[in-house]
Structure 1
Amino acid sequence: MTARSSSEPLPSPTRQRLLDAARAVVEQHGYGGASVAAIAERAGVAAGTLYRHFPSKAELFVEVFRDVCEREIAAATRAAAAADSAADKLDAVLANFARRALANPVQAWALIAEPVDPAIEQVRIDYRRTYTRDVERLLRAAIRQGDAPPQQTAITAAALVGAGNEVLAGPLSPLARRGAHDDEAAIATLRLLCRRAAGIA
């Protein structure tokens, strides 16, 4: 998954307004609770206008999920850039992922675990693959720098990303009582778990 190329045409103002509205509704209600009527109302257009730009809800949300995923990848890149060693970059990326998810639980649940249409699930899979490749790249750098032992980096990276998703699944679930979990304790535990799994002191 890559950021939008500078050569790609920008969406029309109405299309962009619809995308922004859809993303805001997902942040509040998740994918399942995001109705076409609510999105159109928030964008200030009729439902028919929405369907002229996006023939189906699934097509609209493919674009929304892709945009959200690109934002998360960009946030991970910034977190890595702010750290020094490769081991610290890896730690920062995983902590950033958890902290952003816990700060926006409804959207994060939609991004990670909420049942979605197959086309949207493919975007989710692409995002996870990209994120896992980035984690693997940082892990390889940590090995080169002597901060982590030799290992099968693809397997470790997949395990670290999977661990993050599983640790967050409980607090992010719509069934969870907000405030019932200690977010900072969960993040600290995840960081420790990931460092130990990667063999980082």
Structure 2
Amino acid sequence: MAYRETEKMRQRKAQARQRIIDSAWACVASGGFRNARITRIAGLAGVATGTIYRHFESREDLFAEIFRTATQREVDKVAEALHGPADAAARLEAALRRFAERALRAPTMAWALIAEPVDPQLEEERLLYRRAYAELFETAIREGIEDGSFPDQDARLSSTCLVGAIAESLVGPLSPTLSGQATLANIDKKRLVDTLLAFCLQGLTGTRR
């Protein structure tokens, strides 16, 4: 008789997989991908190291899962801020502010998602999500052109410029090697975010907002 996996076994496997994901997430959030060791993840999850590789083909596959989940959460928050009754410029400003403020509240995870040197597989994921942000911003810019919030422009090119500007401007403050947590704590975060938003919106509108 062929072996048939029981529902109880499927549930146990699913629970083990989720514990592995949760433990990997905690490691990345506290020390980035570089410091997320498989042995530590296994210990936190309460499984053997080999069990991780029964759920994920490689360390890179596990980290790609964490990257996708974490980044999609941030993309969703930006998308949420882009919806509302205000004009497109105000909604875009709210979305950019949310992106920056959330990054500064969780600097280690934000650094891991935005700029930490990673394996090629994760770099591909990063490019996909930069594109997702750009597509959201492009839609908002097109709406702004229609409602008069923004002058006529290449919405696609402008959106990619926004993604580059906001991500690059946060690299220094978030970097554990360039600034460190102690330095980040001393940064005037409100001024940083306000300056970043003023730059982005001035680039879109041609005027200071």
- Residue in structure 1 matched with residue 45 of structure 2 by the alignment: 43
Structure 1 stretches (4+) deviating beyond 3 angstroms? Answer: none
Q: Which amino acid aligns with 2:41?
A: I
Q: Distance in 2 between matches of 1:70 and 1:102?
A: 17
Residues 1:178 and 2:181 aligned together:
no
Where 1:81 maps in the other structure, the secondary structure is coil
The alignment's C-alpha RMSD in Å is: 1.6
Q: Distance in 2 between matches of 1:148 and 1:83?
A: 17
Shift, 1:180, TM fit: 2.9
Q: Distance in 1 between matches of 2:57 and 2:168?
A: 34
Q: Among the aligned pairs, what percent are the same residue? A: 41
Residues 1:190 and 2:192 aligned together:
no
- The correspondence of residues 155-170 of structure 1 with structure 2, limited to 5 A, is 155-170=157-172
Where 1:31 maps in the other structure, the secondary structure is coil
- Residue in structure 1 matched with residue 5 of structure 2 by the alignment: none
Which residue among 126, 129, 134 is the counterpart of 2:128? 126
Aligned residues of 1:109 and 1:169 also touching (Cα < 8 A) = yes
CA 1:71/1:83 → structure 2, altered by over 3 Å: closer, same or farther?
farther
Q: Which amino acid aligns with 1:15?
A: R
Count, aligned residues: 192
Q: Distance in 2 between matches of 1:137 and 1:198?
A: 13
Segments of 5+ residues of structure 1 without an aligned counterpart are 1-9
Q: Distance in 2 between matches of 1:159 and 1:77?
A: 18
Where 2:184 maps in the other structure, the secondary structure is coil
Q: Which moved more, 1:90-99 or 1:14-23?
A: 14-23
Residues 1:96 and 2:105 aligned together:
no
Which residue among 103, 122, 140 is the counterpart of 1:138? 140
Question: Rg bigger for which structure?
Answer: 2
Shift, 1:81, TM fit: 2.5
Q: Distance in 2 between matches of 1:119 and 1:152?
A: 31
Shift, 1:82, TM fit: 4.7
The structure whose residues are more often helix, as a share, is 2
Q: Distance in 2 between matches of 1:72 and 1:12?
A: 25
- Residue in structure 2 matched with residue 68 of structure 1 by the alignment: 70
Aligned residues of 1:167 and 1:186 also touching (Cα < 8 A) = no
Aligned residues of 1:102 and 1:183 also touching (Cα < 8 A) = yes
Shift, 1:70, TM fit: 0.9
User: Which structure has the higher relative contact order (CA within 8 Å, separation 6+)?
Assistant: 1
Q: Distance in 2 between matches of 1:20 and 1:83?
A: 36
Shift, 1:83, TM fit: 5.8
Q: Distance in 2 between matches of 1:123 and 1:166?
A: 17
Q: Distance in 1 between matches of 2:22 and 2:84?
A: 28
Q: Distance in 2 between matches of 1:158 and 1:71?
A: 20
- Residue in structure 1 matched with residue 107 of structure 2 by the alignment: 105
Aligned residues of 1:83 and 1:92 also touching (Cα < 8 A) = no
After TM superposition, the score normalised by the length of structure 2 is 0.87
Where 2:91 maps in the other structure, the secondary structure is helix
